[in-house]
Amino acid sequence: MSSVPDGGRAGNEERIHRAHYSPPWANTSFIGVAGSSGSGKTSLAHAIIEELNLPWVVILSMDSYYKRLTPDQLAAAFRNEYDLDAPEALDFDCLVENMRDIKAGQKTEIPVYSFEKHARLERTTTVYSPHVLILEGIFALHDERVLDMLDVKIFAEADADLCLSRRLVRDVRERGRDIEGCIKQWFSFVKPNFHKYVEPQRNVADIIVPRGVENKVAISMVSDRIHKTLKQKSRSHQLELKRLGEISEDAPLSSNVTILQQTNQVRGINTIIMDPEGDREDFIFYFDRLVVLLVEKACEAGLHFTASKVQTPVPNEVYNGLCFDGEVSAVVILRGGSCLETGLKRVIPDCRTGRMLIQTSPRTGEPELHFFSLSPDISEHKCVFVLDPQMSSGGSALMAVRVLLDHGVREDRIVFVTYMAGKMGLKRLMGVFPEIRVVVCRIVGDLETRWVEQRYLGC
């Protein structure tokens, strides 16, 4: 088992050649929806989501980015005498930082603001891997840095009387305000700031949407444009996977790939597993036995130990042994990876496990991240096993490793455990992430004709 110091491989990172890979959720499509307070921006954003009919769309409200107030400002806010409708009240630096993280495919933490307390809460909301993000707020089209990232700019237009009535209903029902305070705030700050700051944003909008959710034509236009953008991104991702396969085709197999030694026991178990006429109970028993061997080999490849002395019951007899250095955990790739858990628990009974659901899209033929649940402190774990019984094209494996890296797990701490892998998919994975380790029982060549190439050639 490895006793290499934790940072032993980091110094060689610059000398390791790695192929470029960008996950499907990188370069997120951003839609900005601005307009007066009460103009129906949130309702319009939800209507766009309904029209898009996609699972990975996030609404980001600029209300989350109000700045922290001083005690004097807080007292004025409770008296409805503090201007919350001017650009100076918003933390645009934090907003831009969060949007840049999302654009790069990184995890980011969105602040949570309480209008009842006029303060940010201690908790945050995690946003990761959306394909489309809708930024809505009265100043969504105000900051030049934000404008540079937006793919579609929308200005929601509504009658001033309608805006006032909507704001009154919202603030009284949802934010605990009184009518007198709402009207005072409207005429003191909201109305003059609309003419000064909000209305000029119409000049930079791509689409001006009157009548809000009733304007079906405008909503359909936005949906069509985003669908075209996502289709182009999907095609680009498939081309990138194809390019990675071509780059890796003639490359030798990485030394970080460990193939389970084909002993007579392993060959005998594989014979039972591969027999279509075999008994179901025998299949389960022997497959679990094989998984135990794989996990044990993964432990040899990935676990770290420190020296430890144990005083034995024999007088003056000390045993010089080893202790685990750091925590080991596992991430199960659903749904197939669940069949590896029994063997994992037999080797490491108290191993903490996370989950990822990665499935192939019937629309595009590319892998999609549907769900993930990881330990909050996974970035601190010294070894993380990724359990997936089969790797074909390597698309799902690339995505799973990318998710772990985005959550702070170091590449050299990841050990991918699989029963069977296609040679091309394995080379593709190691070409992009050369520092991970892979433990596999069987490498086969018949998976090199993958669904990615089949779909691509059929386009």
Instruction: Supply the pLDDT for residue 16.
Output: 55
Round the average pLDDT of the chain to a whole number and report it: 82
Q: How do residues 376-399 score in pLDDT, each as one tens digit?
A: 889 899 899 999 998 887 788 888
Rounded mean pLDDT of 353-358? 90
d(CA 118, CA 104) in angstroms, rounded, equals 31
Q: Which tokens sit at 237?
A: 């991702």
Burial class (CB in 10 A: 0-12, 13-18, 19+), 409: buried
Q: How do residues 259-279 score in pLDDT, each as one tens digit?
A: 999 899 999 999 998 888 888
Instruction: Supply the pLDDT for residue 449.
Output: 46
d(CA 100, CA 104) in angstroms, rounded, equals 6
pLDDT of residue 11 exceeding 50, the answer is no
Cis peptide before 335 (omega within 30 of 0): yes
pLDDT of residue 459 exceeding 50, the answer is no
Q: Which tokens sit at 132?
A: 């489309």
Q: How do residues 307-320 score in pLDDT, each as one tens digit?
A: 888 888 888 888 98
CA distances from 211 to 52, 155, 161, 198, 200 (A): 19, 11, 13, 18, 19
Q: How do residues 179-229 score in pLDDT, each as one tens digit?
A: 877 787 778 877 888 888 888 998 998 888 887 777 888 888 888 888 888
Rounded mean pLDDT of 437-442? 92
Domains and CATH numbers, the chain: 29-235 (3.40.50.300), 252-458 (3.40.50.2020)
Q: Please answer whether residues 84 and 66 qualify as being in contact, where contact means their C-beta atoms are separated by less than 8 angstroms.
A: yes
d(CA 392, CA 400) in angstroms, rounded, equals 14
Rounded mean pLDDT of 279-296? 91
Burial class (CB in 10 A: 0-12, 13-18, 19+), 149: middle
Of the chain, the percentage scoring pLDDT greater than 90 comes to 21
